[in-house]
Structure 1
Amino acid sequence: MQSPFIVELDQQNFMQILETSRETPLLIHFWAPMSRESSEIMPHLQQLAQNYNGAFTLALLNCEQEQGIAAQFGVQALPTIALFVNGQPVDGLGGPQPIHAVEEMLNRHLPSQDVLALNKALELIANGAHDQALPLLKALPADMQNQGEVKLALAACYIEAQDFTLAAEQLEHIPLQYQDAEYKSLIAKLALHQQSADSPEIQSLEAAFSLDSENETLALELALSYHNVNRDEEALELIWRFIAKNLNALDGSMKKAFMDILSALGQGNPIAGKYRRQLYSILY
């Protein structure tokens, strides 16, 4: 596996690679082709190095070819895995090990993969790549998603995606210590959206509909106005009231609008999923 995080050790580059551990932790895998266990764990170590995305460097040392280095470190069992920091060994494992044992060792000295994923997401947000950051944030465990820093990051991503309902949910319970300038900026963006989402035109349609709540044409116009300002749940609920009773309301125009809104929200949207299931319940 070619990767900037994986290197092959030999007599010529050994000291140079070891010196890099002063900047980035170095995990050395002492192995040999004759040792089945040391060969079998290698792809797992390589994948781990990829997952950690540069938090450590994986160095592979073939003990058959580099017996002098192996002897210098007193390697007696294969595989032997040693972690170096600042040029010195700080931890290690000798003999066959499951990959989770290596992960546990790394977790004692390095940030966890969840922390690395969060740091990567925050970096992406800082660079304006909110769409790439959002999947990383959503994949974090629940306890991390409840942290103020993560809630702010999620809210920023949802606002960029114009999913204002989910953004508001994240900002609703932000601990006081995180209610800083970034928090105030996100609140201001949300308030600006809410003002535009309750325009005089929408208020006028709502008033007219309240007086004629069975008017299909008025209902569809109001629902499409909601959709235009990302009030999609209200739009879907309004149309659903009519198509649940008559799937071909307004000669099918309501069903088409309903499907168009679902399509615009996409497959992964929980609101779309709810109403898609409701539609399937009367279609099939």
Structure 2
Amino acid sequence: MQSPFIVELNEQNFRPVLEGSMQTPVLIHFWASMSEASTQLIPQLKELAQQYSGAFTLALLNCEQEQMIASQFGVQTLPTLALFVNGQPVDGLGGPQDLQTVQAMLANHLPSQDELNVKQAMEFIQTQEYGQALTLLQALPDELKQKGDVKLAIAECLVETQNFEQAKVLLDNIPLEYQDSRYKGLVAKLELHEQSANSPEIQLLEQQFQADLTNAKLAADLALSYHQVNRDQEALDILWRFLSTDLNSLDGEIKKHFMDILAALGQTNPIASQYRRKLYSLLY
């Protein structure tokens, strides 16, 4: 299937393709079968276009078949690469090139891969695909994650995926200039969660457990109550206190509750990953 990021230029489409550079940069590759260097570069350029996922359009022009277009561009040597931005040529390369040289040219005009990931994550947030957005955002370098807009996006993903404790830490450190209506809405959601997560029933269980810290049944009841209101780190921590000293605590119920909570959180949840490692270190 033809990639949406790669087009074959001809007399019918070359003007619309160039006009498309007003929105997305267009890299034209002038090639011909008689030029081995130009044909060898095509697969590498196609792979590069796929890696950039739409950050630029690769336009392939066969100079043997489209001599009129090639002459209009004044191509003198093959291969020739020309980068168009906003309808105008902004850079180019002539003669045989390695892929690193092409990438270096593109890097001067295109967003970095990290910036592309931020853009993709923001699109995921728009479509409420918060888990996918969070994966992209958390993989960014620390320098980018400290930017106010990125930090706010991560906080939104954490709230929407019910990682409330991590979200609270981030929201407490959002720069003042980013404390807009979106920020206030997230804070309001967090406050609602905190109110529901600290019900009188949970408070009573907490008091009872504090009075009898060795009572595994109370610990299990409190942990399950925490889990029901998404206080999963606290739930796992309480269960781990018993599990770390006795894998068969409460006739195996503690381990079962622990594993059930890990399963509910999923494989990618960082809290679950932390406690899985603890459990594996105990087992193996």
TM-score normalized by structure 2? 0.90
The question of 1:211 aligning with 2:211 is answered yes
Number of the residue aligned with 1:112: 112
Q: Which residue of 2 aligns with 1:135?
A: 135
Q: Which runs of 4+ in 1 moved over 6 A?
A: none
Distance 1:177 1:70 in 2: 51
In 2, Cα distance between the equivalents of 1:115 and 1:256? 42
- Tell me the distance in 1 between the aligned counterparts of 2:282 and 2:20: 64
Name the count of aligned residue pairs.
284
2:82 partner letter: A
CA distance in 2, matches of 1:171, 1:15: 48
**For residues 142 and 45 of structure 1, do their structure 2 counterparts lie closer, same or farther at Cα, with a shift above 3 Å needed?**
farther
Q: Is the 8 A contact 1:11 1:69 kept in 2?
A: yes
Q: 1:233 to 1:123 in 2, by over 3 A?
A: same
Describe the SS at the equivalent of 1:41.
helix
Residue pair 1:51, 1:113 contacting (<8 A) in 2 also:
no
Change (3 A) 1:30 1:159: same
Q: Distance in 1 between matches of 2:173 and 2:71?
A: 58
Contact 1:262 1:276 in 2 (8 A): yes
Q: CA deviation at 1:22?
A: 4.0
CA displacement 1:236-262 (0-9 Å, x = unmatched)? 111111122211111111111111111
Contact kept in structure 2, 1:25 and 1:86, CA below 8 Å: yes
Change (3 A) 1:187 1:23: closer
Distance 1:192 1:15, change over 3 A: closer
Cα deviation digits, residues 30-83 of structure 1 (max 9, x gap): 122343432333233223333444443221011232334334433233321101
Q: State the distance in 2 between where 1:261 and 1:167 align.
A: 20
**C-alpha displacement of 1:178:** 0.8
Q: 1:17 to 1:262 in 2, by over 3 A?
A: closer
**Which residues in structure 2 correspond to 1:157-168 (within 5 Å)?**
157-168=157-168
Q: Report % sequence identity.
A: 63
CA contact (8 A) 1:243 1:255 kept: yes
Q: 2:27 aligned with 1:31, yes or no?
A: no
Matches within 5 A, 1:1-284: 2-284=2-284
Q: Distance in 2 between matches of 1:249 and 1:86?
A: 67
Inter-partner Cα distance in structure 1 for 2:207 and 2:19: 73
SS in 2 for 1:83: strand
TM-score normalised over the length of structure 1: 0.90
Q: Which moved more, 1:139-148 or 1:212-221?
A: 139-148
> What is the identity, as a one-letter code, of the residue corresponding to 1:35?
S
Distance 1:67 1:198 in 2: 74
CA distance in 2, matches of 1:15, 1:211: 78
Unaligned runs of 5+ in 1: none
CA distance in 2, matches of 1:206, 1:115: 45
Distance (whole Å) between structure 1 residues aligned to residue 254 and residue 64 of structure 2: 73
Measured after TM superposition, the shift of residue 16 of structure 1 is 4.2
In the aligned structure 2, how far is the partner of 1:175 from the partner of 1:95?
A: 49
In structure 2, the CA distance between the partners of 1:17 and 1:246, relative to structure 1 (3 Å rule), is closer
Taking structure 1 as reference, are residues 199 and 98 closer, same or farther at Cα in structure 2, changes over 3 Å only?
A: farther
Please say which of residues 130-139 and 164-173 is displaced more in the overlay: 130-139
Whether contact under 8 Å (1:137, 1:150) holds in the other structure is yes
